[in-house]
Structure 1
Amino acid sequence: MADNTATIFRKVVALTSAVFVDLSLFYASGFVATYGVFGHLLRLWVFAGLRCLALTAVTLFTLGDFKPVLVRFITAHSVLPAVFETGTSVLYHEESQCGLLADARCWLMCAGASLAAALFWELTIPDSNDEAAGKEKKQKSRVLFMRVLWLYKPYYLMLFGGFVFLSLAVICEMFIPFYTGRVIDILGSNYQPNEFLSALLFMGLYSLGSSMSAGCRGGVLLCAISAFTCRMKVKLFEALTKQEIGFFETIKTGEITSRLSRDTNLMGRTVCLNVNVLLRTFIKTLGMISLMMNLSWKLTFLVLMETPITGLIQSIYDTHYQRLSLAVQDSMARTNDSANEVVSGIRVVRSFNTEKHEARRYNNHLMETHNIKTHRDTVRAIYLLARRLTGLAMQVFILYYGRLFIRRGQMTTGNLVSFILYQSNLGDNIRTLTYIFGDMLNSVGAAGKVFEYLDRKPQVSTEGKLTPDQLEGHISFRHLNFAYPSCPQKTVLKDFSLELKPGKMTALVGPSGEGKSTCVSLLERYYEPQDGEILFDNEPLKSYEHRFLHRKIAVVSQEPVLFSGSIRHNIAYGLDECSLEEIQEAARKANAHDFIQQLEKGYDTEVGESGSQLSKSERQRIAIARALVRKPQVLILDEITSSLDAECENKVQKSLASCPNQTLLVIAHRLKTIENADQIVVVGDGRVQERGTHQELMDMKGNYYKLREKLFTEGNSPQ
Structure 2
Amino acid sequence: MNDMKRLLSYAGPYKRDMIFGAVLVLVETCFELFIPILISNLIDIGVANGDIPYIYRKGIQMGVCALCALVTGILYAHFAARATYGWGAEIRKAEYEKMQQYAFSNLDHFAVSSLITRMTTDVTVIQNMVSAGFRPITRGPSLLIMGIGLSFYMNPRLAFVFLVCTPLLGFILSLIVRRVAPMYTKLQSMVDRLNNVVQEGLTAIRAVKAFVRDEYEEDKFNEVNTDLTAASEQTFHYAVLNLPAFQGVMYTAIVLILWFGGNMILKKQLAVGNLTGFLSYVMQVMNSMMMIANVFLLLTRSMASAHRIVEVLDEKIVLTSPENGVTEVTEGSVEFDNVSFKYKEEAKEYALSDVTLKIKAGQTVGILGGTGSSKTTLVQLIPRLYDTSRGTVRVGGKDVRAYDLAALRDAVNIILQKNVLFSGTVRENLKWGNVDASDEEIWEACRAACADEFLNRMPDGLDTVLEQGASNLSGGQKQRLCIARALIGKAKILIFDDSTSAVDTATEKKIREALAARKNVTKIIIAQRVTSVMNTDQIIILDDGKVHRIGTHAELLADDPIYQEIYASQMKGGDENGSESL
Short-chain TM bin? over 0.9
Q: Aligned pair 1:588/2:461, yes or no?
A: no
> Do 1:509 and 1:668's aligned partners in 2 also have CA atoms closer than 8 Å?
yes
Match in the other structure for 1:511: 370
Match in the other structure for 2:172: 313
**Aligned structure 1 segments of 4 or more residues deviating by more than 6 angstroms:** 714-717
Match in the other structure for 1:286: 145
1:381–1:265 CA distance, 2 compared to 1 (3 A): closer
Deviations 1:643-666 (A, max 9, x none): 222332232122212211111101
Match in the other structure for 2:431: 572
Q: SS state of the match for residue 561, structure 1?
A: coil
Cα distance in 1 for residues equivalent to 2:139 and 2:311: 31
Q: CA deviation at 1:389?
A: 0.8
Size of the alignment, in residue pairs?
578
With 190-199 and 174-183 compared, the bigger mean Cα shift is at 174-183
Q: SS state of the match for residue 153, structure 1?
A: coil
Q: CA deviation at 1:689?
A: 1.6
Q: 1:428 aligns with which of 278, 287, 299?
A: 287
> Do 1:165 and 1:216's aligned partners in 2 also have CA atoms closer than 8 Å?
yes
Deviations 1:608-643 (A, max 9, x none): 111111122211111011101112100011122222
Code of the aligned partner of 1:512: T
Cα distance in 2 for residues equivalent to 1:618 and 1:694: 29
Cα distance in 2 for residues equivalent to 1:600 and 1:164: 61
Match in the other structure for 1:709: 568
> Do 2:326 and 2:402's aligned partners in 1 also have CA atoms closer than 8 Å?
no
Q: CA deviation at 1:457?
A: 0.9
Q: Aligned pair 1:476/2:345, yes or no?
A: no
1:714–1:352 CA distance, 2 compared to 1 (3 A): farther
> Do 2:114 and 2:192's aligned partners in 1 also have CA atoms closer than 8 Å?
yes
Deviations 1:542-589 (A, max 9, x none): 221121111100111343111111000111126443332322222222
Unmatched 5+ stretches in structure 2: none
Q: 1:218 aligns with which of 77, 86, 101?
A: 77
Match in the other structure for 2:486: 627
Cα distance in 2 for residues equivalent to 1:337 and 1:171: 49
Q: CA deviation at 1:204?
A: 0.7
Code of the aligned partner of 2:62: M
Q: CA deviation at 1:212?
A: 1.3
1:329-340 alignment, distance < 5 Å? 329-340=188-199
Cα distance in 2 for residues equivalent to 1:629 and 1:203: 74
1:424–1:470 CA distance, 2 compared to 1 (3 A): closer
> Do 1:271 and 1:443's aligned partners in 2 also have CA atoms closer than 8 Å?
no
Q: Aligned pair 1:667/2:490, yes or no?
A: no
> Do 1:259 and 1:449's aligned partners in 2 also have CA atoms closer than 8 Å?
yes
Q: 1:649 aligns with which of 504, 508, 514?
A: 508
Q: CA deviation at 1:409?
A: 2.7
Q: SS state of the match for residue 354, structure 2?
A: strand
Cα distance in 1 for residues equivalent to 2:541 and 2:502: 23
Relative contact order higher in (CA < 8 Å, ≥ 6 apart): 2
Q: 1:185 aligns with which of 30, 41, 44?
A: 44
Q: 2:214 aligns with which of 355, 358, 370?
A: 355
Deviations 1:147-169 (A, max 9, x none): 23332232122223212321221
Q: Aligned pair 1:205/2:60, yes or no?
A: no
1:166–1:632 CA distance, 2 compared to 1 (3 A): same
1:282–1:534 CA distance, 2 compared to 1 (3 A): same
Q: SS state of the match for residue 13, structure 2?
A: helix
Q: 2:264 aligns with which of 395, 405, 408?
A: 405
Match in the other structure for 1:194: 53
Q: 1:555 aligns with which of 400, 414, 432?
A: 414
Q: Aligned pair 1:445/2:304, yes or no?
A: yes
Code of the aligned partner of 2:111: K
1:302–1:361 CA distance, 2 compared to 1 (3 A): same
Deviations 1:307-326 (A, max 9, x none): 21111111101011212222
Q: Aligned pair 1:262/2:121, yes or no?
A: yes
Q: SS state of the match for residue 509, structure 1?
A: strand
Match in the other structure for 1:77: none
Q: SS state of the match for residue 310, structure 2?
A: helix
1:468–1:207 CA distance, 2 compared to 1 (3 A): closer
Q: CA deviation at 1:680?
A: 1.1
Q: CA deviation at 1:273?
A: 4.6
Q: Aligned pair 1:526/2:379, yes or no?
A: no
Provide the aligned C-alpha RMSD in A: 2.2
Q: SS state of the match for residue 277, structure 2?
A: helix
1:259–1:582 CA distance, 2 compared to 1 (3 A): same
> Do 2:327 and 2:404's aligned partners in 1 also have CA atoms closer than 8 Å?
no
Deviations 1:34-90 (A, max 9, x none): xxxxxxxxxxxxxxxxxxxxxxxxxxxxxxxxxxxxxxxxxxxxxxxxxxxxxxxxx
Match in the other structure for 1:94: none
Q: Aligned pair 1:695/2:558, yes or no?
A: no
Q: SS state of the match for residue 578, structure 1?
A: coil
Q: Aligned pair 1:375/2:234, yes or no?
A: yes
> Do 1:635 and 1:664's aligned partners in 2 also have CA atoms closer than 8 Å?
yes
Cα distance in 2 for residues equivalent to 1:670 and 1:463: 39
Match in the other structure for 1:236: 95
Match in the other structure for 2:313: 454
Q: CA deviation at 1:527?
A: 2.1
> Do 1:243 and 1:459's aligned partners in 2 also have CA atoms closer than 8 Å?
yes
Code of the aligned partner of 1:176: I
Deviations 1:342-366 (A, max 9, x none): 1111122223322111111111111
> Do 1:315 and 1:438's aligned partners in 2 also have CA atoms closer than 8 Å?
no
Deviations 1:5-34 (A, max 9, x none): xxxxxxxxxxxxxxxxxxxxxxxxxxxxxx
Deviations 1:75-120 (A, max 9, x none): xxxxxxxxxxxxxxxxxxxxxxxxxxxxxxxxxxxxxxxxxxxxxx
Cα distance in 2 for residues equivalent to 1:310 and 1:689: 73
Q: CA deviation at 1:474?
A: 1.1
> Do 2:7 and 2:310's aligned partners in 1 also have CA atoms closer than 8 Å?
no
Deviations 1:452-503 (A, max 9, x none): 1100012333446434445111111121222333993443211111211101
1:285–1:374 CA distance, 2 compared to 1 (3 A): same
Cα distance in 2 for residues equivalent to 1:171 and 1:549: 63
1:235–1:714 CA distance, 2 compared to 1 (3 A): farther
Match in the other structure for 1:495: 354
Cα distance in 1 for residues equivalent to 2:573 and 2:264: 106
Q: SS state of the match for residue 591, structure 1?
A: coil
1:499–1:552 CA distance, 2 compared to 1 (3 A): same
Code of the aligned partner of 2:58: A
Match in the other structure for 1:390: 249
> Do 1:249 and 1:486's aligned partners in 2 also have CA atoms closer than 8 Å?
no
Match in the other structure for 2:541: 682
Q: CA deviation at 1:267?
A: 2.1
> Do 1:144 and 1:444's aligned partners in 2 also have CA atoms closer than 8 Å?
yes
1:596-611 alignment, distance < 5 Å? 596-611=455-470
> Do 1:285 and 1:429's aligned partners in 2 also have CA atoms closer than 8 Å?
yes
Q: SS state of the match for residue 318, structure 2?
A: coil
1:468–1:454 CA distance, 2 compared to 1 (3 A): closer
Q: Aligned pair 1:171/2:43, yes or no?
A: no
Q: CA deviation at 1:438?
A: 5.3
Q: CA deviation at 1:668?
A: 1.7
TM-score by length of 2: 0.94
Deviations 1:378-432 (A, max 9, x none): 2133332122111111111111111122233332101100100110111121232
Deviations 1:646-705 (A, max 9, x none): 332232122212211111101123333212111111111221121121112222244322
Code of the aligned partner of 2:135: N
TM-score by length of 1: 0.77
Unmatched 5+ stretches in structure 1: 1-140
